[in-house]
Amino acid sequence: MSDILSINNIRVLCAEMVEEAKSGHPGAPLGLAPFVYILFKNYIRFDPEDSKWINRDIFIFSNGHACTLEYVIRHLCGYKIGLEDLKKFRQLGSITPGHPEFGVTDGVEASTGPLGQGISNAVGYAIALEKMKLYNKESLSIFDNRVYCIFGDGCYQEGISHEAFALAGHLKLSNLTFIYDSNKITIDGPTSLSMSDDSVLRFKSYGFEVEIIEDGDSDLKKMEEILNKKITKTKVIILNTTIGKFSELEGNAKVHGAPLGMENLKKLKEKLNFGEEKFLVKNEVKEIFEEVIQRNKENRKVWNEKIKKYRIKFPEIYEEIFRKEKTVLKISYENQSGKIATRKHFSDALNENISKFKHLIGGSADLTPSNLTKWKESEDFTAENRKGNYIRFGIREHAMMGICNGISYFGHHFVFCGTFLNFITYGFPSLRLACLTNLKVLYVMTHDSIGLGEDGPTHQPIEVLPLLRATPNLTVLRPADGRETRFCLKFAYENDGPTVVCLSRQNLPDLNNSSIDLSYNGAYFIKESENSEIILISTGSEVCLALECAEILQKKNKKVSVVSMISFELFEKQSESYKQKILPPKVIKISIEASSTFGWQKYSNFQIGIDSFGKSAKYEDIYDYFGFTPDKLSDRILSLL
């Protein structure tokens, strides 16, 4: 009876939170409460006084709209979430937002809500934990934590779920358990409106171990039986639940995303033997969770003793695991003769400095030979080789970026991923959440303009740079040569947030006055003329064109300076005096970039760019077609003046 009382207390609290906020999703928590209760009571290992304990089990709600259930269960488990926080659900400044946000609510492991994201995050966490197991010794094992991820019918339907499930199964991530909250309801109504696939066959096709709980509303014994089983590969538990269980709208789509209403809430509480008192946690329930908390504290003490022994026996490895100091990467570069693509420069920089990186994990969405992201000493991370540090993500850009988020959430590894810049939009929802959460992820995006040539407008990222530059918390870098590209690697390693590096397919010359140090300013003079009449501002592969153009204009008695603007975001962080020194208000400024002109109006009086889709041809011909040659640019500039 005590378990039933606890479950019903959780249900009531979830419903009350939504009612108090006059907003939210009561349906899923009412159905999922039994399983989440059993999971936290008997299986999840945690330390409420140290929610980032490195050997904790990871719990993710991919169907983040059910977050009241996570907030309530973590409140009961002693996390830094008080009853007052539950009452402030969805209110300005609260630590209980409308969907889970990493870094806002104690214990929350991932920012979820856009459906399916948590599934990919869970795969990332599982990979990170597999890497941690490499520190275990035969005589002393210190890492054995697991990942549990709940997802619903909406997550199931999202394409990212297939991408992430497929890779999880391929990698045989046996430390990962998915729980499919199959209540067979979406916003429009029953799932039969839009799906008729066989979920069991789908999961088996990934190589998952599949378990089914027919009565997810009340069969606690079956839940424990399944959770007690030894796991040898990725597991999915299909949990058949009833949305809005015990409410007047039980099994109805209307209970998904709106408060029950005062009258229906009252009936729910009466049905579950709760009185009128709001936000009540019954004493018997408190006692149950006090025991849960105490047991987990004891488990933590045992682990602490193990880690003390580990520190004595393996001091150097211990330091490698727990060292926290910020690393500043020292990189230098001497100009090379000839022309080299910045994607090749990035590859060279990675290989030149690979010994300086600790805990590096990288990968590409099946574009390794094009992105040049695999360094010489790397090994593939596979089901057979957990020592590997390079992930073959396959053609799965969306899941790749979500998986990198999961790796970054765990916090032990420096992670990067690669694809063509145009295809960053295939994974943009994951990138956006990395920005929302300010995750340290590096995106190595090659083939960054019309310069990729013959593949044509389907692959040429005209509108992508403005999209990325408009995204909060994201630093976008577009280097012009080898020196600036090495700055990009250095900056991304030192940066605490997400970084996109945009790299050329075509070969480019090294520039005499480019600078690693000055790149930190976001923009600097790469050619400065006294008493300039014109300042050309450019990025990446167009900086060399701007320099050639300046030479032509100077022969026509124009005083021209050239600014390399490697990053809008870094430039915006500079002082007003520096900004005005680089871009003086009274001097005519003209931007040159083989991309959309959107956003350049802030910095330039005139914009030279491409506001249409590209062409399929040799890149030299495309540049000529759009007027991106030194002669055509200089003529255009003179006509603007």
Q: What is the pLDDT of residues 86-131, one digit of tens each?
A: 999 999 999 999 999 999 999 999 999 999 999 999 999 999 999 9
The pTM for the full model equals: 0.98
- 170, exposed or middle or buried, with CB in 10 Å at 0-12, 13-18, 19+? middle
397 in catalytic set = yes
- Considering only the C-alpha atoms of the chain, give the largest distance between any 2 of them, rounded to a whole number of Å: 91
Q: Are 71 and 20 in contact (CB under 8 A)?
A: no
Burial code (b: 16+ CB inside 10 Å, e: under 16) for 581-600 equals ebbeeeebbbbbbbbbbbbb
SS3 category, 541: helix
**What number is the average pLDDT over the span 335-364?**
94
pLDDT at 326 over 80: no
Q: For all residues of the chain together, what is the average pLDDT?
A: 98
Annotated binding site for thiamine diphosphate: 65, 113-115, 154, 183, 256, 423
SS3 category, 393: coil
Note the pLDDT tens digit of each residue in 411-453: 999 999 999 999 999 999 999 999 999 999 999 999 999 999 9
Looking at residue 309, its pLDDT comes to 98
Looking at residue 337, its pLDDT comes to 86
List of domains in the chain: 2-296 (3.40.50.970), 339-509 (3.40.50.970), 518-640 (3.40.50.920)
Q: Nearest 5°: CA angle at 486, between 378 and 524?
A: 160
Note the pLDDT tens digit of each residue in 560-611: 999 999 999 999 999 999 999 999 999 999 999 999 999 999 999 999 999 9
Annotated binding site for substrate: 25, 256, 343, 370, 447, 455, 459, 505
pLDDT at 146 over 90: yes
First-to-last alpha carbon distance for the chain, in angstroms, is: 83
Among 16, 109, 397, 593, the one annotated catalytic: 397
Amino acid letter, 367 = L
Looking at residue 641, its pLDDT comes to 87
Annotated binding site for Mg(2+): 153, 183, 185
- Position 325 confidence tier, pLDDT thresholds 50, 70, 90: low
Annotated binding site: 25, 65, 113-115, 153-154, 183, 185, 256, 343, 370, 423, 447, 455, 459, 505
Cα four-point dihedral sign 407, 412, 413, 415 = positive
**Residue 10, Ramachandran bin (φ over 0: left; ψ between -120 and 50: alpha; else beta):** alpha
